[in-house]
Amino acid sequence: MPDDFKNRVRVRLYQLFVEVGRCPRSAEVAGSLQCSVSDVTAAFQELAAAHMLVLQPGSGEILMANPLSAVPTPFVAETQSDAGSRSWYGNCIWDALGVIAMLQCDGRVLTSCGCCGESMTVSVRKRQVEAQPPGLVHFAIPAKRWWDDIVFN
Amino acid sequence: MGAVLSLEQAWKLADSWYRDRLSADWRRRTVDEAHDLFRSLGLTSEFWRLT
């Protein structure tokens, strides 16, 4: 499959995810690109094999278009603008902050402490980050093992 | 066990890693490029080695 087509699928997937506020299904991406669903699912599979997406094991639909998660997680990335508040799920705190970075806006991550469960809000304003209550970020899995089980990670 | 980052380090990691993800020009980093990025953020321990 041509790299150019796979990239078009990848970009359109992300655009729809951001525009709609939820993960589009393969049929929606196909409709948007005016191509077949089978071409899109084949592109998904090749992008997943290259660790550029993560697919749901049964349906083959998107599970992760990092930093975005297609399913609810404990990391809600919320942005505010004149148009109002919008939110997406991140796969972890790195990814939830990554949603705000990717959208290049101010925002906050609504989450909880991994140790004690205390509610936490991590705010990003003018590219400065602050947590309430203050905290640190813990990575449990060494980098070389991230893709051994990316869903667990 | 694991690695602990300050909030500022985590934000810079997220910003460096994901800022360009919506771009049509984005491509997956090579291992060397990822190591360079980690190093630029002070993440130099074995924990951050991808290979």
Over residues A133-151, the pLDDT tens digits come to 999 999 999 999 888 877 7
The predicted-structure confidence for A72-117, as pLDDT tens digits, reads as follows 999 999 998 777 899 999 999 999 999 999 999 999 999 999 889 9
Mutation target among B1, B6, B15, B32 for the A interface, most CBs of A within 10 A:
B15
Q: Considering only alpha carbons, which residue of chain A is nearest residue B2?
A: A140
Q: How far is A142 from B8, CA to CA, in rounded Å? A: 20
Q: Which pTM does this prediction carry?
A: 0.95
> Is residue A129 within 8 Å of B5, Cβ to Cβ?
no
| B contact residues 19-48, partner A, Cβ 8 Å cutoff | 19, 21-22, 24, 28, 38, 46-48
> Is residue A7 within 8 Å of B24, Cβ to Cβ?
yes
Nearest to A77 by CA among A103, A102, A109: A109
Neighbour-count burial for A40-52, b at 16+ CB within 10 Å, e otherwise: bbbbbebbbeeeb
